[in-house]
Amino acid sequence: MAEKIGVYFDQASIGPFLNLEALSEKVQNVWGKACPVVKIEPFLASEEGHKTIQEDIDAGTIDSVCICGSSPRVDWELFDFGSNILVERANLREQCVWCYSNPDGSPLNPKEEPPELLQAMATDYVNMSITKLQKTEIPDPEKVDSIKRILILGGGWTGLNSALSCAEAGYEVVLLEKDKELGGYTKNLHMSFPLSYPFTEYQETGIDQKIETVKGNSKITVYTGTTLEKFDGQPGQFTATINSSSGQEEISVGSLVLATGWQAQDTKYLEPFGYGKYPNVITSMQMEEMAKNGKIARPSDGKSPKNVVFILGMSKVMDNFAQEEETEIKRKAEEKEQAKEEQSEEEIAIEEPFEITESYRHFSYSNEITSLNALKQAKYVRDYLPQSISFILYEHMIVPGINERYYQSVQDDPGIMMTKGEVKSVTGGSNDNLIVTVENTLLGEDIEIEADLVVMPTGIVPTTAHDPVIQLNYRQGLSLPELNLFDGFADSNYICFPYETRRTGIYAAGSVRQPMPLSRSISDAQGAALKAIQCIESVNRGMSVHPRSGDLTYPKFNFVRCTQCRRCTEECPFGALEEDEEGTPKPNIARCRRCGTCMGACPERVIYFDNYSVGQTSSMITQIKVPEEMNEGGPRILILACENDAYPALDMAAQKGIKWSPYVRIIPVRCLGSVNTIWIADAMGKGQDGCLLLGCKYGDDYQCHFMKGSELCQRRMENIGETLDRLGIELERVQQEQVAIDDYYLIPDIINNFVDNIFKLGPNPFKGF
């Protein structure tokens, strides 16, 4: 706990717009001996500034530091004074001076005396930072004796590359493959689209050499014909139970890379295009097999095709198919409901639930792969049958990045014709030929192409879509959470943390995470390997991993007051909390990502971190000085801003010169999931006129770094409404908004509109009490 706080004002950052002498005097008068050092430095964010503070620490004058200047998101390395010195940053530049807007809209004039409203804002932020330090303990990390061995699940292209990356970094690797041979689907490929310069020709995959390299690496133990039966424990100390031909075995590992890859989409979704009806409608996998065997021929008669059509423009037919499928699903559901009326309760109880069938959307998810594959196989036709012509009918040609070169090289082949369009139908013609009808082409006309052979894409479905793959012993379930009902891809924050699943220590790579070509799978495998290594090394030091990498704190529990309500164990997004038979939480510290969702869920407030607690934030809220009359000093509005998206967005807005109301006070929180309703009750009870919660986007396209925090906070708003109703306060005084980090330009309107609504509501009834 901070007892002797040094408060330092950065003249270069904030001096021209604030009366720093007045602020310094207030700190000395209010905090007295708690702040024995109060200084105004000309340029604090410098080696000289660092040296000044270090000298005060070395002299024993202070044991903690409060920096009053720029945002804590900048210059942080200059204000690191070791693990035993607490440092807090009062953001007086970005979220005070730079964002300040006079109520009348006039700009700040550095030559004039700072406005009273601006000085009041700065005073509040300084006082909040000091009281935060007083409520902060130096973290006492709980270290895990990590096992420096990594389990790679899946021996295909991604798994092989990930295994080699881990081994080359010096870590032991256990590679598990369920098939008898390594290589996965890549073994079945004739060629790959370009993997190296000049990126204009397809090339060999190199899978056989990759397999031999893995087998020859002394740090890699390979198991084939082996499955993972169970995976238990926590990062650094997992136990993998495997089944092989020699029986069951337990292996201790520190982390896991999930690289189980994909499987082909059910061909029933190709039936609207004549697959299964016409022998010369084949899949791209069948075409690949032909090329690998050295001959491209029509299945109907074994003859060489002269016109080969590759279909990528599928949405029109597929949408109709989806509508028919949805109608059929609803019809079956209605039949089941009608049947239940004639069943006994016992029959209903044992009946299996109705499941929605697999979605056809995997074709659209795979469109980069299907586009590149069509280009590659069109070249197969030209190379094997120089007199034949390839037609590529695409709705969207997806060739990102360097693959544009490959697209251009294929486009230059005079025997390959491409057109944008939507395939309306594939019907039978004479001599087992096929008639492909295309709408909405580039020329604006419908066209018909007579084809000897039609090639349909193979949709990529992750192995996790129909198989748990990993059997976990977690409170939240046995398998990995998926993106949604239809996708089946292993869930991760695909924008900011693409490899991390919701189970700490388990990292997804390759097409089990999202469809990707071999080139991207290499970098994906390397990224997941680095994350698996980082996890082992972090928990070995008692540190958290992503997104609060390096955090030494962990949730602590006052079990004496715990009522076993199970809210914390139920709401934890990562399985960090299990429970005993009575419902008492059993923490798995290495699984925890330090989001504080458990703290926000706890109605008894028995969960806390050394440097983040309910009491700490409540104390900060009490430091906000609320004018007794709204018409004199204006309202006071608390903003609780997620540190991952909303808080950076606020900084970015200020850096762009965007202003907002001076009546708000911002407190960063780890996640909106950590917001305890008592904070809002405290703010309202102290006379604040409103509370705005700014968090990440939630829902199917969520961007919350802690997966469910914003969504959980929104659910808790119902409890907040009940609390406000008991206090006789309007629910409109509390509002939650979704803010992505690139929504910085929306910040002023969100804040100012909320402030305008508060003015319309009038003062908080508790103001002045």
In this predicted structure, which of 401-415, 457-471, 480-494, 752-766 has the lowest mean pLDDT? 480-494
* Cβ pair 523, 546 in contact under 8 A: no
Which residues, in sequence order, are CB contacts of 401 under 8 Å at separation 6+? none
Residue 353: count other Cβ atoms within 10 Å of its Cβ.
5
Which residue did the predictor score with more confidence, 707 or 710?
A: 710
* 110 upstream amide cis, omega within 30 of 0: no
Taking residues 128-133, report their average pLDDT.
Answer: 97
Tell me what pLDDT residue 632 has.
80
**Strand ranges (DSSP E) for 214-289?**
220-223, 227-234, 237-244, 247-253, 255-258, 262-264, 281-283
Six token digits for residue 515: 């469809």
Residue 555, sorted as left (phi over 0), alpha (psi -120 to 50) or beta, turns out to be: beta
pLDDT digits (tens, 9 = 90+) for 390-439: 999 998 899 999 999 999 999 999 999 999 998 989 999 999 999 999 99
Residues above pLDDT 90, as percent of the chain: 67
* Cβ pair 317, 273 in contact under 8 A: yes
Tell me what pLDDT residue 472 has.
87
Question: What's the Cα-to-Cα distance from 302 to each of 305, 414, 427, 450, 761, rounded to whole Å?
Answer: 9, 26, 20, 18, 80
Three-class secondary structure assignment of 701-716: CCCCCCCCHHHHHHHH
Residue 111: count other Cβ atoms within 10 Å of its Cβ.
6
Residue type, 34: A
DSSP assigned state of 112: S
* Cβ pair 680, 734 in contact under 8 A: yes
Tell me what pLDDT residue 580 has.
86
Taking residues 363-387, report their average pLDDT.
Answer: 90
Question: What's the Cα-to-Cα distance from 104 to each of 17, 88, 108, 565, 661, rounded to whole Å?
Answer: 17, 33, 11, 50, 11
Question: What's the Cα-to-Cα distance from 418 to each of 202, 315, 366, 426, 566, rounded to whole Å?
Answer: 18, 17, 19, 18, 59
Taking residues 706-726, report their average pLDDT.
Answer: 83
Q: What is the dihedral of CA 23, 27, 29, 33, to 10 degrees?
A: -160
**Domain residue spans of the chain:** 1-138, 149-264+462-540, 272-320+362-457, 556-608, 612-769
Tell me what pLDDT residue 294 has.
94
Q: What are phi and psi of 517, to 5 degrees?
A: -75, 175
Taking residues 255-282, report their average pLDDT.
Answer: 92
Which residues, in sequence order, are CB contacts of 531 under 8 Å at separation 6+? 499, 500, 507, 545, 546
Tell me what pLDDT residue 624 has.
96
- Is 729's pLDDT higher than 90? no
Tell me what pLDDT residue 485 has.
46
Q: How far apart are CA 654 and CA 121, in angstroms?
A: 15
Q: How far apart are CA 619 and CA 252, in angstroms?
A: 45
In this predicted structure, which of 163-177, 242-256, 455-469 has the lowest mean pLDDT? 455-469
What sign for the dihedral angle of Cα 340, 343, 345, 350? negative
Same CATH topology for 1-138 and 149-264+462-540: the answer is: no
In this predicted structure, which of 85-94, 515-524, 626-635, 744-753 has the lowest mean pLDDT? 626-635
Q: What are phi and psi of 256, to 5 degrees?
A: -140, 140
Looking at the structure, give the CATH architecture of the domain made up of residues 149-264+462-540: 3-Layer(bba) Sandwich (3.50)
pLDDT digits (tens, 9 = 90+) for 582-628: 888 989 899 999 999 999 999 999 999 999 999 999 999 999 999 98
pLDDT digits (tens, 9 = 90+) for 33-84: 999 999 999 999 999 999 999 999 999 999 999 999 999 999 988 999 998 9
* Cβ pair 98, 637 in contact under 8 A: no
- Is 127's pLDDT higher than 60? yes
* Residue 318 banded pLDDT, cuts 50, 70, 90: low
* Cβ pair 296, 305 in contact under 8 A: yes
In this predicted structure, which of 19-28, 335-344, 385-394 has the lowest mean pLDDT? 335-344
Residue 338, SS3 per DSSP:
helix
- Is 345's pLDDT higher than 60? no
Residue 222, SS3 per DSSP:
strand
Tell me what pLDDT residue 174 has.
98
Taking residues 180-203, report their average pLDDT.
Answer: 94
Taking residues 705-724, report their average pLDDT.
Answer: 83
* Residue 367 banded pLDDT, cuts 50, 70, 90: confident
* Cβ pair 669, 643 in contact under 8 A: yes
Tell me what pLDDT residue 321 has.
63
Q: Which of 768, 737, 688 is nearest to 124 (CA)?
A: 688
Tell me what pLDDT residue 339 has.
66
Question: What is 1-138's CATH topology?
Answer: Rossmann fold (3.40.50)
* Residue 353 banded pLDDT, cuts 50, 70, 90: very low
DSSP assigned state of 636: -
Looking at the structure, give the CATH architecture of the domain made up of residues 272-320+362-457: 3-Layer(bba) Sandwich (3.50)
Taking residues 744-757, report their average pLDDT.
Answer: 94
Tell me the pLDDT of the chain averaged across its residues. Answer: 89
Q: How far apart are CA 550 and CA 473, in angstroms?
A: 26
Q: How far apart are CA 680 and CA 349, in angstroms?
A: 44
- Residue length of the chain: 769
What pTM was computed for the model?
0.88
- Is 348's pLDDT higher than 50? no
Which residue did the predictor score with more confidence, 316 or 602?
A: 602
CATH class of 612-769: alpha beta
Tell me what pLDDT residue 224 has.
97
The helix/strand count (H/E) of the chain reads as 21, 30
Tell me what pLDDT residue 656 has.
94
Looking at the structure, give the CATH architecture of the domain made up of residues 556-608: 2-Layer Sandwich (3.30)
